[in-house]
Structure 1
Amino acid sequence: MPRFMGLVRMEEGIAPAPEALFTAMDDYVGKLAAAGHFLDGGGLYGTEDAVNFVVADGEVTRVDGPYAEAKEVVGGWALLRYDSQQEAIAAQQEMAQLHATYWPGCKVVATLRQVSEAS
């Protein structure tokens, strides 16, 4: 069964999500987990404590957050398993719809990518 990575990008520094969204997401993730689709996932803290390692010209440089230039950051992630890409896409759209329904003032980009199974 193919695995997929779901990512939620959002503007950093906006008001916290409403409790109704957390409740709806808990119910949704519970449903996915019970069906064997949700493997792991969670929300991420802001970039204030983030650490980036930048590789350029054969050198590695550490850059600590916060990052003033960051407008959109990954706010959450999920590792998912579905029989088909079409099922995964439908599930990601449903998750995005939960954000539209319960947090209509936010701008979220919900991305779905298939995980490479190459060794």
Structure 2
Amino acid sequence: MEEGIGAPPQAIFDAMDVHIGERAAKGVFLDGGGLYGTEDAVNFVVRKGEVTRVDGPYAEGKEVVGGWAIMEYADLDEAVADQREFAELHAKHWPEATVIATLRQISEGPEAPGD
């Protein structure tokens, strides 16, 4: 999501409340939440065995993670379809924002997805 474009409109909050509520009722939505911007973020960078602390804001970053959700689906097709619906909610209710909705699997061990 773009940083520094202002607060999301109430319409996206209302749409997301319905979206998340429906998924929570089905047992799909397990956990999630929104994140503040990078103005007070703290990163620890590990490079060549050394740890460095870097405080925000980050001038080089155009996009930041604005929120997260842990969802559980029966299969990948269902997850992809629901992720598209999530993206379409943003297109409809907050069209002036650039939002990248990323779907990733949670690792439960050292094996790769599908192993």
Give the TM interval when normalised to the shorter protein.
Answer: over 0.9
Q: Tell me the CA shift for residue 94 of structure 1.
A: 0.4
Instruction: Name the aligned partner's letter for residue 108 of structure 1.
Output: V
Question: Does 1:116 find its partner at 2:107?
Answer: yes
Please state how far the C-alpha of 1:52 moved relative to its aligned partner: 0.5
Q: TM-score, normalised by structure 1?
A: 0.90
The answer for the alignment partner of 1:7 in structure 2 is none
The SS at the match of 1:108 is coil
Number of residue pairs matched?
A: 110
The equivalent position to 2:76 in structure 1, one of 76, 85, 104, is 85
The unaligned stretches of length 5 or more in structure 1 are 1-9
TM-score w.r.t. the length of structure 2 is 0.93
CA deviation after TM superposition for structure 1 residue 16, in Å: 1.2
Secondary structure in 2 aligned to 1:69?
coil
Q: Alignment identity in percent? A: 66
Which residue of the partner structure matches residue 6 of structure 1?
none
Equivalent in the alignment of 1:32: 23
User: Considering only aligned residues, what root-mean-square deviation do their CA atoms show, in Å?
Assistant: 0.8
What is the deviation of 1:38?
0.4
Deviation at 1:17, TM superposition (A): 1.0
Q: Deviations over 1:73-119 (max 9, x none)?
A: 00011000001011111111101000000011111100000111116
Residue 18 of structure 1: aligned partner: 9
Give 1 or 2: higher strand fraction: 1
The runs of at least 4 aligned residues of structure 1 exceeding 6 Å deviation read none
